[in-house]
Amino acid sequence: MKITVVSPHSGDAALALGLAIEAWLAEGHSVEVVSCFTRSEFAPYSDAGSLHANDRMSFVTAVRRREDEAWRKQHGASRLKLTDLNLKDAPIRLHCGREKVFGRPADTSEKVVSKIQRAVEMSKAGAIVLPLGLDGHVDRISARDAAMPTDTAGRALAFYEELPYMAGAEGERAVEVALGQLPTGLQAELQPTFAREPSGREDVIEAAVLRKRRVAWCYDSQIDERVTAEIAEFSRRYGGRERLWGNAAWRADATLAAR
């Protein structure tokens, strides 16, 4: 099956679903990650701060694209495709400070909506995976809403929990709020590990934590070691797996349903 994962920013899908994507590829699925708002000036752990303001966006955008490519190369699999929509992220696009990107309504501008919708349609996916939008970031809400299929019951559809936000104290409450804004009938699914081992075994969990850490290391211009460890350790909560919220069509597909 072709699975399309919408990633609002470079790294969002990888950090949240690195293990699941690895497992889907191992099962023979093809995966396309559609990264939406990839033109950015946010790379606090890079050398961007020393650059002239006119050069910062091009430098950061290039750095973050290299990070995505480093993650893709971990798989060594041609079935993982990265599609970059090259849209500006919220602070640049909406001319607002970083503290003002949360709690805003979805960006319904024609350029944003049409470009995301077109990319998802062109992917010809059998299953679509979208962010829950837990932190209320306008880019995540906008990408989620624009990519939402018209027929939310007839398509295999699932939503992922963004990290590191989900690991915080408000994570579970934010899931409840997000689910109240989404199609009804979504249920939690723990995706299998790459090794297809039963969850709960300590060696399987440790291997999952290590693999999750390797994914997070790819994005070291955006997150520091503390957040890297937080993201990796979070996978222990689910026995070395990652949680998705899937609709009935997702759960009915034997190749996607949790085992």
Please provide the average confidence, as pLDDT, over all residues in the chain.
93
Q: How confident is the model at residue 248 (pLDDT cuts 50, 70, 90)?
A: very high
The count of domains in the chain is: 1
Using the predicted structure, report yes or no on whether residue 254 has a pLDDT greater than 80.
Answer: no
Classify residue 177: in a domain, yes or no.
yes
What pLDDT score was predicted for residue 172? 96
Q: Is 257 within a domain? A: no
Q: Is residue 10 part of a domain?
A: yes
| 210 belongs to a structural domain | yes
Residue at 85 is within a domain: yes
Query: What pLDDT is attached to residue 94?
Result: 97
Please report whether residue 80 resides in a domain: yes
CB atoms within 10 A of CB 51: 15
pLDDT in tens, 113-123: 999 999 999 99
pLDDT mean over 168-186: 95
Q: Give 139-165 pLDDT, tens digit per residue.
A: 999 999 999 999 999 899 999 999 999
Question: Does residue 191 form part of some domain?
Answer: yes
Classify residue 258: in a domain, yes or no. no
Residue 75's pLDDT band (cuts 50, 70, 90): confident
* 197 pLDDT tier (thresholds 50, 70, 90): low
Range of the domain at 18: 2-252
CATH of the domain at 53: 3.40.50.10320
pLDDT recorded at residue 195: 52
